[in-house]
Amino acid sequence: MSFDLKIACIMVGLPARGKTYISQKVCRYLNWLGITTKVFNVGNYRRELHGSNLPHTFFDPHNSQGEQQRHEAAKAALEDLMQWLLDENQNNMVAIYDATNSTHKRRKWLHDTLTGKGVQVLFIESICQDESLVLANVRDVKLSSPDYRNMDPAKAAEDFTARIEHYKEQYETITENDYTYIKLINVGSQNVINLIKGYLESRIVYYVLNLHIQPRKIYFSRHGESQFNLNGKIGGDSCLSERGMRYAGMLPALIQNHLGRDQSLTVWTSTLRRTIQTAEALPYPKLQWKALDELDAGVCDGMTYEEIEERYPEDFANRDEDKYNYRYRGGESYRDVVLRLEPVIMELERHDNILIVGHQAILRCIYAYFMNYKQEDLPYIKIPLHTLIELTPRAYSCDEKRYGVDIEAVDTHRPKPTAPQRKLGVHTDAPPGASGEIVKDFTSPIVPISPLASKPKQPQIFLAADQHPNGHAKD
């Protein structure tokens, strides 16, 4: 994948077909991987230029003044998109143009303008013929938009339905066979893919194909307190402490009280003993993922932070300087873990209710994906022991609730240093596999340059009644 690669994803579809939902999800996914991505929503430009609370007649294709003003907003968004994407001082790689783009004429204008500047264009069309889904989207999302602020919900729904009818008058689905596109029909029940080129376009398409909009809950829980937690040691494959075993015993009731006893759930754990022991009493199907094993601390595995500071002072300072990019000697960085977790994220987007019983660093990375954290803040997210985190995905964000239990546990959170640390052993051009230093390349995203560079690890499948083998000795 060339670092000069620039891609514009152009959304296509009638209003209330999930275009903005897809745009925001793709943007969040790519930024999580270190691929700088930004959404340009034409509706925001239209509101800025011509105000909110415009009647549905503004969108009538026979309204020449409205047509001119909507094109003005589309042009302003495109100009900003190109300025941002082609900025030679930044490594911006993917821009998402969020609008209806519902005619051949509009798409040709966009395609020709962008390809003339050397930008690859990927059209993403969302078609939904299920009126119940459309009405649910109108009710849950569109009526809360700035266009209908302080308006009676019934009148707002009537106006927005009329707006959709105006767009239907001139809507033309993608039939341009020389364009690169993916067409999603009825929330993925049928998909059409045409002329996808290159690794990054393939990853975007694969991600979009895994999205679904059915209501669900995602639960995170660290393993119960372990013997290593009590001793202040990192890594290892220790068993649970007495308090950790008590938490494991309370976890089934905690889940059922908040999820509901009649709801299905799949439990994912790592291959390490402390997560397997924590999930043992849960009456649900279980899967073990090697990819969910804790961040590998390399030569520091099994040591306390005080021992690391004494034995490897430069490493200790480097990790405080840039915790996201620091790679342990013979181990991993948070950046490495994000790459390792990409197949897990894909599977999460495909599934319904999931509980991940995991480790602090792993859950930080997955939580950061759903809650849109910046890379520099990711390693300092608080994921306390003996706490159940519930995420409910919404159209543009996630609702979060945390449920604690009355079982004490040690606090393993290390806050972000307030004073700048002395930079030691910083290597911005370090070769792959380097360790004991801050490894980052500001010209490279986190994804591998070819699909062969990272093969997803397959989960091992166990039913709830099965006996679970002990995990590996290294995490």
Instruction: Report, as residue numbers or ranges, the catalytic residues.
Output: 98, 223, 294
CA distance 361 to 272: 14
Contact 288, 269 (CB under 8 A): yes
Which pair of structure tokens corresponds to residue 131? Answer: 């009126």
Specify which residues 191 forms β-bridges with.
184
Which pair of structure tokens corresponds to residue 278? Answer: 């924590």
What torsion, rounded to 10 degrees, do the Cα atoms 111, 115, 117, 121 define?
80
DSSP string, 18-41: SHHHHHHHHHHHHHHTT--EEEEE
Q: Helix, strand or coil for residue 475?
A: coil
Letter string b/e over residues 123-146, b meaning 16 or more CB atoms within 10 A of that residue's CB: bbbbbbeeeebbeebbeebbbeee
Give the pairing type, strands 286-288 and 266-269: parallel
Backbone angles phi, psi at 66, to 5 degrees: -65, -40
The single residue listed with the structure tokens 């995991």 is 358
